[in-house]
Structure 1
Amino acid sequence: MSSGTSSTTAPDILVLEDSRFDVELLTEALIAALPEARVTVVCDEEGFTGALESARYQLILSDYELPGFSGAHALEIARAVAPLTPFIFVSGVIGEDNAVELLKRGATDYVSKGRLARLPVVMERALKEAADREAKQAAEAKLRVAHEIFGAAEARRLALIELSDRIRDMDGICEIAYTASQMLGTQLGVDRAGYGLVNTAAETIEIERDWTAPGVSSLAGTLRFRDYGSYIDDLRRGTTVVFADAHEDPRTRANAAALDGIGARAVVNMPLTERGGLVGLLLSQPRQRAPLVARRARFHRRGRRAHPLGDRAARGAARAAGLRRIAGARGRGAHARARPHLGTEPGPAGRGQ
């Protein structure tokens, strides 16, 4: 049974009473005070425990002395199963000292069977207090969630400020990427975080250095996207790729074993683009399947909006790719110019002939 309570015009009330005569009196009093109330009557421990486990009640009324059972024991059970539900003793044999002791142990109030005229007032007060308590707890829960959200946002903001300070004087894209990966990994509590250059023609990613948690192997090197699924198609379109379980995602299901092999069953991959083209990738891999995957994806996106790291990394990737192409072209040009000096160009004697 749920332990919550709520104020309602048609409350569910559980009555623990073994006397048929007293049950009739109580029922009449309840109907007079709460015409819409739904009343369940039990007479022993088995019935009481079963009722609490099978339904949710807004109010419990109990006799103090029952054959083979007691109201004190019933109170103990109710506090364990439904701690927020008001518990009112309705009995003719409780002494003042016992009543005080029961109130200390969690009872809400006490009404003598000889003074049932007090019962409506006591029930109304108990239901109102329970509703107020429930509303307060709901408000406190919302406040805690708000504090957690604010705390997480503030942690991201401070992490991005720290990252900005750390990379301000860095020039090497590898150094920048590793520093960002290290902060991303520690902030999110993941197994692995890194940055890689993407070759869209070959559909590969080259990871020079990634950050990993203790005991987790590195992915440094060149990886072929198609070995691990079809999500390269989404990355090309600039879509962040998130999957909580490679065995369930349609893009990776057929290649799940390969992803298991590199410890990447759950993944967040954010593409970095330059002039509309995919040039790099920020990746993180959670420690376990969890709802945190979505939160980590949001951190990726918000981090990119809040900080120029993504654009800087993308520009660095584009520059690196451009420099490689230029270096390759220069190398081929130098090789072509060098060939005549290796005996292919006619010497002076040849030109004279």
Structure 2
Amino acid sequence: MNKINSYGTGLVAGLAVFFGLMVGAIIMLVSGFNPVTGYISLVQSALGSSLNIGEVLRSMTPLILTAAGFLVAQSAGFFNIGLAGQVWVGWIASTWFVLVNQSMTPWLSIPLAVIIGALAGALMGALPGWLRAQFGASEVITTIMLNYIALYGGNAFVQGLPKKLMATTDMTNTLHASDSLRWDFLSNLTGGSRLNIGFIIAIVALVAVWFIMKRTTLGFEIRAVGLNPDAARYAGMSAKRTAVTAMTISGLLAGLAGATEGLGTYLNIFSQTAAPQVGYDGMAVALLASGSFLGIFFAALLFSILSVGGLGMPLASGVPTELVSVVTASIIFFIGANYLIRLILVKIDEDDAKQKAKKMKGPKEPEKKVEEAE
């Protein structure tokens, strides 16, 4: 068991990506497409122009934030499936604040809106944390239920806004670029993409969360409770308080992701048929990162390349965009099967060791036949 667990998470994650791409290649071949052409078109569609690169970075923004939020909760021993709902309430709260305060200077309204969005997500995260701490309620069940409450409650809120704020019955007016996180410098730098200040916020937040988790007492307590709650309590730590704190931070980061979506990408609010997908994708990014904050950045980059590049695959190579979802799902599957990958690596090492041992012993000498005396 120790030998199996000794393999680095980076190697296992890399193999998971490789196997996922291989599954995609096999499906392309079976479907009559050239996998080499398909993957080349995917990369070119994602990185072939400054506009597409900007869109890749823009797509990374909510993934970095939601993945960091998931990792904080996971470090405390919790599985926060409510990231999607927390993103949605952060999106609504932040964008609504700017819509109703357009007379306020953007230098004040935008920072306040981002803070309000983050706080809305934090409240949505704190509730299941408190229920777990006080009543032992499974955060998996409560966060799933809260996703539905956030989705339909948010839709009802949007549809009930004053008519002067609405473009249609299901969509608000669009914010002016000056009342958003858009920055002409970033947009012009990337060929007119929607890259905005939210990307900078995400990078700063990722570094801040890394520092909190790795260099502060709070981070140590969160990790200690996640590893062994009983031992943490024996050492004088409050497992209940830590549970609420971890889930609050997790929700805050998800709410911040929602604020960047509303104020940076879409510039409005519109009714959703499902909770924002970035919440679920952020979980996948965190799983691929395998507990590494640096890994979150590169995993988010990979998922964004797949997402943005997949849009150009049908035109460039005829490969349907649905195949990108198959590749992504395959990567997640192999991450979930990381124990199997480690077991395969151990088997390969053992076979190599046996071969080396045989070479060191050299060829066996033929046994001498003893002739019996007649």
TM-score by length of 1: 0.21
- Greater relative contact order (CA < 8 Å, ≥ 6 in sequence): 2
> Highest CA radius of gyration, 1 or 2?
1
Give the number of the structure whose residues are more often strand, by fraction.
Answer: 1
Give the number of the structure whose residues are more often helix, by fraction.
Answer: 2
